[in-house]
Amino acid sequence: MFILSLCVFISDEVLPKVHDTIKFKGNDYNCDHFHTTNNFGTWCGCPFLACTGGQDCYGTYHCFIKNKNYDYRDMKDEDCDCHDHRK
């Protein structure tokens, strides 16, 4: 009898943080949780881009900075946008 084991590997690429915290749409985000590419859904979003200083990323969504002169301490909805590129 063969036993099949399933291993799930989670790949975390750690990117440098440019800020310790950011504020997006009135919510505070700790950049310790938004600077790795992982399978937990915390990467490739507007907080990820602000924490790492990136301009765009691709994951489940394609996210990009629309306003290059945004204030990371008070980001607005018009500063960043994400689209589900699977559609």
pLDDT at position 14 is 82
Predicted local distance difference test score (pLDDT) of residue 85: 75
Q: Which two tokens stand for residue 67?
A: 């306003």
* pTM greater than the 0.85 cutoff: no
Reading the block at residue 53, the tokens are 């200083």
**Token representation of residue 87:** 């559609």
Q: Residue 87's pLDDT is what?
A: 66
pLDDT at 3: 43
53 secondary structure, DSSP code:
T
Looking at residue 43, its pLDDT comes to 81
pLDDT given at position 26: 96
Mean pLDDT per block of 10 residues along the chain (87 residues) reads 41 85 96 80 86 90 94 96 83
